[in-house]
Chains A and B, each alone.
Chain A
Amino acid sequence: MTKNLITLLNALAVFAVLLLLWQGLCLVLHLPPYMLPRPLTVGHAVIARFPSLVASLAITTEEAAGGLIASIVAGLLISLVFAQSRWIRRMFYPYTILLQTVPIVAIAPLILMWVGPGLLSVTLVAFIICLAPIIANTTQGLISVEPNLIHLFLMHNASRLQILTRLRLPHAVPSLFVGIRIAAGISVIGAITGELFAGSTRVGEGGLGYSILYASAQLQTDYLFALVLAATVLGFAFFFLVMFLEWYFLHNWHESARATSDE
């Protein structure tokens, strides 16, 4: 846990240095605020428009979290099916890769067209972008059990179900978390991408993506920066929440929860 804290502090220190450089650069080059607002101006924008910023943030959080949680549930179920046989994997695995390689910006407008703009369609975009890493990692975890452990279970006449619930599933938990960690970061990207096409998802207001479009059209560059900052904070929050959960569930037994190395 202290290790996580140190990681956090290091990241914050780098952030502070970057802010200082940024402020210095604006002062030295005399850049107009609509090109590059100073950090302090951005700070003012955050405070002045705090309620609408928080409202946008809440919408995006809801969509990203919804997509992420749905992808964990669906990804785990799909992985359980994939783990059953090599043939199933051979038949369906290429589609998982397809899911990962098709650019989400190209699919997002389609989904919006099919499902209609709103919270659901944006959540769906986040869900799709999160699914592939969850499936890929969890399936790997389920099937990469050491042969001798399977032999051990067989020697005790374990059923297929017992091998799944008592061996494969717990063995896959660290890999599942690797998938969730990747998915948590990109869920925010997915939600914002969806919002760029979705317009306002609630009457009169939209998520961060919608507000970013709006702010850039209005040349409100300081608020645009505030929104980008909010998106970054959201991504970080997700990442650290997942890291905490990972630590909570795995610190007793798994190396990856104590160091960054993975077996």
Chain B
Amino acid sequence: MSAELQVPEVSLASVTKSYGGGPPILQQIDLTIAKGEFVSLIGPSGCGKSTLLKLISGLTSITSGTILVDGMTPVDARETVSYIFQDATLLPWRTVTSNVGLGLELERVSREVRNQKVQSLLELVGLTHVARAYPRQLSGGMKMRVSVARALATKPRLLLMDEPFGALDEMTRDRLNEELLRLKAEQNWTAVFVTHSVAEAVFLSTRILVLAPSPGRVAREISIDLPSPRTSDTREMPQFESFVTEVSRALRGVQHA
């Protein structure tokens, strides 16, 4: 009920994006994401899912239409938005601690406050033992964890994630997915998540948008009402399987179209 009255976290109205007069990458996207939702974007390569994320972050400008993030333009809303990239994008010359504190440092938070926040975040994501390590000393999963901690350090209301766990092995990915949901339950941000993995999307999301290519558009919308909290047991539930089947079918549909 009250969710209807709130300003949506993200809203897109007839958003179109094309590069330099070429054919549209995304066409007429209408989309509303309520606060606290976990929305995954899935679709074949070239359907513009990463572009959609870049538009919501304001890193790329739209060709036509409107995007509002918490009622503001994407660029104005950046203070409350964090972006997690496909690769961990850590600064190799900084230690883990210093990497996690980067956002706070750029926002000119004092060293004392910063150290405190970073310390508690490292505890939260289980990185205390590598606080002084450099990125090259970490495994892929650890690096991604640092990246997540860095994104959460600035207390975002909206988290944009572009295939953050795509390069990891399945076991590491599953574990990080569980941790991500635990963090979300504690901090209650909204998430827009791009992935190629159907199982990952089903496990994480409250809603999945299946995108179709040329031009990129939302082909199907599937609400995932699996019970929460979701744990590793969730993956063994029959409903989980049927959601995976449903999303996979939808995905096959748009690929053949």
A residues adjacent to B (C-beta < 8 A): 146, 148-149, 151-158, 162, 166-167, 170-171, 173, 252-255
What are the 8 A-B residue pairs with the smallest beta carbon separation, nearest first?
A156-B106, A253-B92, A156-B103, A148-B85, A158-B106, A155-B83, A253-B93, A170-B93
B residues adjacent to A (C-beta < 8 A): 57, 59, 78-79, 81-83, 85-87, 89, 91-93, 102-103, 105-107, 134-136, 154
B residues near A146, Cβ cutoff 8 Å: 89
**CB within 8 A of A255: which of B59, B78, B85, B136?**
B136
A residues near B59, Cβ cutoff 8 Å: 151, 154-155
Shortest distance between the CB of A171 and any CB in chain B (Å): 8
Q: A252-B93, A253-B93 are in contact. List 5 more A-B contacts (CB 8 A).
A: A155-B57, A166-B91, A170-B93, A171-B93, A253-B136
A152 touches B83 (CB 8 A): yes
B residues near A156, Cβ cutoff 8 Å: 78, 102-103, 106-107, 154
B residues near A173, Cβ cutoff 8 Å: 93
Given A151-B59, A157-B79, A255-B136, are A166 and B106 neighbors across the interface (CB < 8 Å)?
A: yes
B residues near A255, Cβ cutoff 8 Å: 136
CA A105 to CA B81, docked complex, whole Å = 59
Question: Closest residue of chain B to A149, judged by CB?
Answer: B89
Shortest distance between the CB of A255 and any CB in chain B (Å): 7
Question: Closest residue of chain A to B103, judged by CB?
Answer: A156
B83 touches A151 (CB 8 A): yes
CA A253 to CA B94, docked complex, whole Å = 8
Given A151-B83, A152-B83, are A252 and B134 neighbors across the interface (CB < 8 Å)?
A: yes
CA A170 to CA B93, docked complex, whole Å = 7
**CB within 8 A of B91: which of A149, A157, A158, A162?**
A149
Given A146-B89, A162-B106, are A155 and B81 neighbors across the interface (CB < 8 Å)?
A: yes
CA A89 to CA B110, docked complex, whole Å = 37
Question: Closest residue of chain A to B136, judged by CB?
Answer: A253
Given A156-B107, A156-B154, A157-B106, are A253 and B78 neighbors across the interface (CB < 8 Å)?
A: no
A residues near B136, Cβ cutoff 8 Å: 253, 255
CA A122 to CA B154, docked complex, whole Å = 54
